[in-house]
Amino acid sequence: MALDRVMQGKKQKAPRWRHCTTKTMGRMQYAAGAMYVMKAFDQASKNVTQEMIGDLLEAFRQMVLTNDWMDAKTKASALDKAGQMLQHIAYPDFILDDQKLDDYYSGFNVLDSDSYSQMVGKLSRWNLVHEFKRLIEPVDRNEFDFNAAVVNAYYQPTSNSIKFPAAILQSPFFHHTFPSSTVTSVELSGSRSLACSGIYCVLLERKTISARFVERGKSHLLLGSQGAPTKMS
């Protein structure tokens, strides 16, 4: 507690239930996410988000096509990448299927008589075996590798996918009755150094990057030696 007080400004120790809930959410993301979705998530938000992203992607394609600083090769790469972008919205369907969720956590069993440290030890061993098995399996770009109960939204360059956990699709960030906002559009412009499959490659030629800097510079002014505004390019 003394360290937390100095590092994080905490004034008192968090209640035990909060500590246990945080640990469970971090170590059992799919189970925790399933409980949140069944208890608190409005399914209409998922459908509206999917429609909104579809509209934004179409607007993005039109923006690329009418762009005057991108060359034809760069435009083709950008359109291809946008077309293959995966949309991971709210939660993976399997977490609402009790049998599939049980199968996912197969091998992990706790008893009412287990202490906290015993539960943590069992979960750590299960997770270690689970992760080692994944090393010999092909990468699944369609994997929803997030906790649906966490408030977050991000673009994952290595899988060319956008992630919107269920917990962020709520007020004040989002509601299916709210006007469309930037919470989704900001995640569409991803890395320029990774291809549509997440593999490293050069998507922008040097001359295209230079043209972009010139184009951006035209909208900025600097004060000259005599105080007169001067364009940066």
- In this predicted model, what pLDDT tens digit does every residue of 65-120 receive, in sequence order? 998 888 888 889 889 988 999 999 999 999 999 999 999 999 999 999 999 999 99
pLDDT of residue 192: 57
Whole-angstrom Cα distance, residue 157 to residue 166? 20
Domain ranges in the chain are: 2-189, 203-233
Helix (H, G, I), strand (E, B) or coil at 196: coil
Say which residues have a Cβ less than 8 Å from residue 124's Cβ, sequence separation at least 6. none
10 Å Cβ neighbour count for 160?
21
pLDDT of residue 143: 92
Cβ atoms 13, 1 nearer than 8 A: yes
Alpha carbon distances (Å) from 86 to 39, 56, 65: 26, 14, 21
pLDDT of residue 188: 57
Cβ atoms 16, 59 nearer than 8 A: no
171: burial class by Cβ within 10 Å (0-12, 13-18, 19+)?
Answer: exposed
Degrees, nearest 5: CA angle 136-138-143:
120
Whole-angstrom Cα distance, residue 192 to residue 208? 12
pLDDT of residue 37: 97
pLDDT of residue 125: 96
Helix (H, G, I), strand (E, B) or coil at 88: strand
Peptide bond into 172 cis (omega under 30): yes
pLDDT of residue 214: 64
pLDDT tens digits in sequence order for the chain, 233 residues long: 688 778 878 788 888 898 888 888 999 999 999 999 999 999 999 998 898 888 888 988 999 999 888 888 888 988 998 899 999 999 999 999 999 999 999 999 999 999 999 999 999 999 999 999 999 999 898 999 999 999 999 988 888 899 999 999 988 877 777 766 545 555 555 555 555 555 555 566 666 666 656 666 666 666 666 666 665 55
Helix (H, G, I), strand (E, B) or coil at 56: helix
The encoded tokens of residue 46 equal: 């998922």
Cβ atoms 230, 220 nearer than 8 A: no
Closest CA to 161 of 87, 83, 78, 50: 87
Place of tokens 């299927």: 97
Q: Which amino acid is residue 118, in one-letter code?
A: Q
